[in-house]
Chain A
Amino acid sequence: DARVTQTPRHKVTEMGQEVTMRCQPILGHNTVFWYRQTMMQGLELLAYFRNRAPLDDSGMPKDRFSAEMPDATLATLKIQPSEPRDSAVYFCASGLWRGLMGTDTQYFGPGTRLTVL
């Protein structure tokens, strides 16, 4: 049963520390998304990649957030330095893009619950 995996599942850190979250997309999927979910803002798209190339990171605070795909099996989201307002659940999702007329279902990972003190 293929699924998206994310590590760590929980992270508690202090303000100013660097945080790195990792995601392993489903094998064969060519699109990876990073979302942030909070009670106030709901589900926000931070960035997404297709075939490892970043297509859109307009939802991401550029000064402290960075997202990369060093290879097809790993996506990372880094926050440096972290702030209390970054506390949220960060979801990675992957999908198989077959063009505008195809189904672009997104398969979400279990999320990383980040708390910045």
Chain B
Amino acid sequence: GQQVMQIPQYQHVQEGEDFTTYCNSSTTLSNIQWYKQRPGGHPVFLIQLVKSGEVKKQKRLTFQFGEAKKNSSLHITATQTTDVGTYFCAGRSGSARQLTFGSGTQLTVLP
């Protein structure tokens, strides 16, 4: 079945440092989504990528979809304490009927 792997599992950074989380799929994806879950909260949709090589930005967040549509990354520039949380990728292959979530990367930002 479809597998979505995410690394790293945990990341501690100093406020102001950059952060990147990576998502890799065992199969080619038709789309990939990113979600953020604050501590004690629920996953919240951030963005969806559909096209090969697509890059989207939301303020300090940059999302990329690989050329082969099997990997994706989320990069945060100059992290802030408000960036704390767990970031999940979720992908769907063409034949799958639902998203498969990665294991998440838990980001801690030290002030």
- Which A residues fall within an 8 A CB radius of B? 33, 42-43, 45, 48, 55-56, 91, 93, 100-101, 103-111
Classify the interface of chain B: helix, strand, loop or mixed: strand
One of A43, A45, A48, A106 near B45 (C-beta < 8 A):
A106
A78 to B101, CA, bound (A): 23
List A contacts of B99 (CB < 8 A): 104, 106
**Complex contact B101–A105 (CB within 8 A):** no
| B8 interfacial contact with A, CB 8 Å | no
List A contacts of B82 (CB < 8 A): none
**Complex contact B101–A43 (CB within 8 A):** yes
Q: Beyond the given A43-B103, A105-B45, please list 17 additional residue pairs across the A-B interface where CB-CB is below 8 A.
A: A33-B98, A42-B101, A42-B103, A42-B104, A43-B43, A45-B98, A48-B98, A91-B42, A91-B43, A100-B30, A104-B31, A106-B43, A106-B45, A106-B90, A106-B99, A109-B42, A111-B42
Tier of interface size on chain B? 20 to 34
Give chain B nearest CB distance to A1 CB in angstroms. 13
Residue of B whose beta carbon sits closest to that of A4: B42
List B contacts of A42 (CB < 8 A): 101, 103-104
Give chain B nearest CB distance to A99 CB in angstroms. 11
Sort A-B residue pairs by CB-CB distance and give the 7 closest, nearest first.
A108-B42, A42-B103, A43-B101, A105-B45, A108-B43, A111-B42, A110-B42
| Of A45, A107, A108, A110, most B-chain CB atoms within 10 Å | A108
Give chain B nearest CB distance to A76 CB in angstroms. 19
- Which B residues fall within an 8 A CB radius of A? 30-31, 33, 35, 41-45, 48, 88, 90, 92, 94, 97-101, 103-104
**Complex contact A56–B42 (CB within 8 A):** no
A55 in contact with B97 given A43-B104, A103-B48 (CB within 8 Å): yes
A93 to B35, CA, bound (A): 13
Give chain B nearest CB distance to A101 CB in angstroms. 8
A100 to B98, CA, bound (A): 10
